[in-house]
A and B are shown apart, each in its own frame.
Chain A
């Protein structure tokens, strides 16, 4: 095979397929300590371990929410945390049919000589780290590569570096039993139209899959986490159906059928936007050989965060808000979402220009 078939091959294929179960998706709860700090600050909550633990406990113990999820991405600290009753989060998830995942990249650094383009770091001892995470119960990983659209961006260098980085990360994960989520995010920032985003997304995805092939990655044991194809943030919005059409066309042109599932990132979209767009894609009547689902961070947690406000007495209501979004996205992954769930908070744009994770 041109794919490397290591000792974990069958397990990887099984896990990837499970994560891609229709009607389920991923909660991206892997905000680094710095990033979660910004979220907590926005609701006037102190960024200490106790509060980070409380937030994640709120999410993972939301009644009935876990049935909408097939995976949760965790930050390293969270992988080893427990509920206030002393039950490891990993166990809470596993018992509810949710696969624990782990963010393994170490953020981006600028590529010298480019106009602020970046590559992602995290290779040092990555194999050993993955092996450790596997022992701690993780079964999939995530690594975020970032590209942007500009007059001369993304540059050939940026595309090559990020594609190569994703491929190296992916094979190292597979050597150590973790299903790699491959995330080549093309940022929405900019005045470009949807056609430009489509062209760039197709070019980037083609480079990514060529690199995965070069590095002998077993596609059946991977997932893709791409951006949806949308107009730039400074450009007029378009209907969900238009986004769906451009996105699915781009994926049909670049993502081999061997990939079991595609789990979109939400970028700066509001909770409701992201859900509507996902729904429109699943309603589209065209052949899609992979499932289309969600891997949302902000678009699943925004209203929950605001409703909680850091107060114990708000936990119940906050968990209801979380369940509402989880359920909405579960329906959207089946093309069954009819809209209107959640409060006005759900329509709030989450776009932050030049957002640094």
Chain B
């Protein structure tokens, strides 16, 4: 095979397929300490370990929510945390049929000579780290590559560097038993139209899959986490059906059928937007040999965060908000979402922050 044969081969294939189970998706709860700090400060909560732990406990113990999830991406600190009662989060998730995942990249750095384009770091010692995470219970990983659209962007250099980085990360994960989620995010920032986003997305994804092939990655044991194809943040909005059509077409032109599932990032979309768009994609008729689901961070947690506001007495309300979004997105993966999820405060709020730094 042109794919390398990992001793974890069967497990990787089974786990990747499981994550793509129709009706389920991923909660991206892997905000780094710095990033979660911004979220907490937006609700006037201090960025200390106990609060970070409390927030994640709130999410993972929401009654009835785990059934809508096949995976949760964690930050390293969280992988080793427990509930207040002392039960490791990893066990809580496993008991709920949810695979624990781990963010393994170490953020982006600028590429000299470009107009602020970046590459992602984290390859040093990555093998050993993945091995450790596997021992701690993680079964998939995530690495975020970032590109942007501009007059001269993304440059060939940015595309090549990021595609290569994703491929190196992916094969190292597979060597160590972790299913790599491949995330080549093209930022929504800009005045460009949806056609431009489609063109760039197709070019980037083609480069990514060529790189994965070059590096002997086993596609059946990977997942893709792309942006949806949308107009730029400063351009006029379009209907979910238009987003669905452009997105699915871009994927049909670039993502081989061997990839079991595609789990979209939400970018700066509001909770409701992201759900409606995902739903439209699953209603679309056409060839979709991979399942289409979600890997949402902000678009799953926004209203929950606001409802919680750091207060113990708000936990049930906050958990109800998460359950609502999780259920809505589960339905969206089946194309059955009717748009009737009670919109909690903030669900329709755009989560776009210009030039958002994670």
Interface residues of A (CB under 8 A from B): 1-3, 195, 198-200, 202-203, 206-207, 209-210, 213-214, 219, 249, 252-258, 287-289
Contact = CB atoms under 8 A, between A and B. Distances in A.
B248 to A, nearest CB: 10
Contacts of B253: 2-3, 213, 219, 256, 258
Given A249-B258, A289-B289, 14 more contacts: A1-B198, A2-B253, A206-B2, A206-B214, A209-B210, A210-B206, A213-B253, A253-B220, A254-B256, A257-B251, A257-B255, A257-B288, A257-B289, A289-B257
22 contacts: A2-B198, A2-B202, A199-B2, A202-B3, A202-B213, A203-B213, A206-B210, A206-B214, A209-B206, A209-B210, A210-B210, A213-B254, A253-B219, A253-B256, A257-B252, A257-B255, A257-B257, A258-B249, A258-B253, A288-B257, A289-B257, A289-B289
B209 interface: yes
Contacts of A255: 256-257
A288 B288 CA distance: 10
Interface of B: 1-3, 195, 198-200, 202-203, 206-207, 209-210, 213-214, 219-220, 249, 251-258, 287-289
Contacts of A214: 206
Of B219, B253, B258, B289, most buried by chain A (CB within 10 Å of CB) is: B253
Given A2-B198, A210-B206, A195 B252 contact: no
Contacts of B214: 206
Contacts of B2: 198-200, 202-203, 206, 253
Contact of B257 (A199, A209, A252): A252
Given A206-B213, A258-B249, A252 B1 contact: no
Contacts of A203: 2, 213
B262 to A, nearest CB: 12
Given A207-B210, A253-B258, A257-B289, A199 B1 contact: yes
A199 B2 CA distance: 4
Contacts of B255: 256-257
A209 B205 CA distance: 12
A289 B253 CA distance: 12
Contacts of A254: 213, 256
B199 A287 contact: no
Which DSSP category, helix, strand, loop or mixed, fits chain A's interface? helix
A198 B216 CA distance: 13
Contacts of A198: 1-2
B257 A1 contact: no
Contacts of A206: 2, 209-210, 213-214
B257 A287 contact: yes
Contact of B202 (A199, A213, A249, A257): A213
A253 B2 CA distance: 10
Contact of B289 (A199, A200, A210, A287): A287
A74 to B, nearest CB: 30
Across the A-B interface, the 5 shortest Cβ-Cβ residue pairs: A202-B2, A206-B213, A213-B206, A2-B202, A210-B210
Of A202, A253, A289, most buried by chain B (CB within 10 Å of CB) is: A253
B154 to A, nearest CB: 12
A2 B199 contact: yes
A207 B2 CA distance: 12
Of B210, B252, B256, most buried by chain A (CB within 10 Å of CB) is: B256
Nearest to B204: A2
B152 to A, nearest CB: 17
Contacts of B195: 1
Of A1, A214, A219, most buried by chain B (CB within 10 Å of CB) is: A1
Nearest to B260: A287
Nearest to B250: A2
A113 to B, nearest CB: 23
A203 B256 CA distance: 14
Contacts of A219: 253
A199 B214 CA distance: 11
A202 B253 CA distance: 17
A195 B1 contact: yes
B213 A213 contact: no
A253 B198 contact: no
A213 B255 CA distance: 12
Contacts of B257: 252, 255, 257, 287-289
A344 B13 CA distance: 43
A257 B288 CA distance: 8
Contacts of A258: 249, 252-253, 287
B209 A289 contact: no
